[in-house]
Amino acid sequence: MSWIDRTRDAGRSLKDIDLNQVQEKLDSLSDYLSNLAAYTSKFATRQWRDTRKQALGTAHEAEKMMKGNIVASLVLALGIGVLIGYLIRRGSR
């Protein structure tokens, strides 16, 4: 089949396309994508809310533990500060 024959066949197949069908398919695709975006947004919002609740709960528990063990918390903070200072000094050499 030559290039000219292929072009003629393509032209015929384009004539057979019903523009109303194409428009309907595009509309249904648009509706589907809108629904998918709405579902994804709701799901992400729900996940974010749940994750935030868990993080806040963990932060409150850590705060209570630190308040209950203030001396251990201060020693730990001092040790971490000394370690970071050592690493910074060592890295600048």
Our count of domains for the chain comes to 1
Q: Which helix or strand (DSSP H or E) is residue 67 part of?
A: helix 19-68
For residue 17 the two structure tokens come to 């396309």
Q: Is residue 16 part of a domain?
A: yes
Q: Is residue 51 part of a domain?
A: yes
pLDDT digits (tens, 9 = 90+) for 3-48: 555 656 555 555 666 778 888 889 999 999 999 999 999 999 999 9
Q: Is residue 32 part of a domain?
A: yes
Q: Is residue 45 part of a domain?
A: yes
Identify the domain containing residue 23 by its residue range: 3-68
Give the integer Cα–Cα distance in Å for 56 and 49: 11
Residues 49-53, mean pLDDT to the nearest whole number: 95
pLDDT of the residue at 83: 96
Instruction: Calculate the alpha carbon distances from 56 to 50, 60, 63, 73 in Å.
Output: 10, 6, 10, 20
Give the integer Cα–Cα distance in Å for 78 and 70: 12
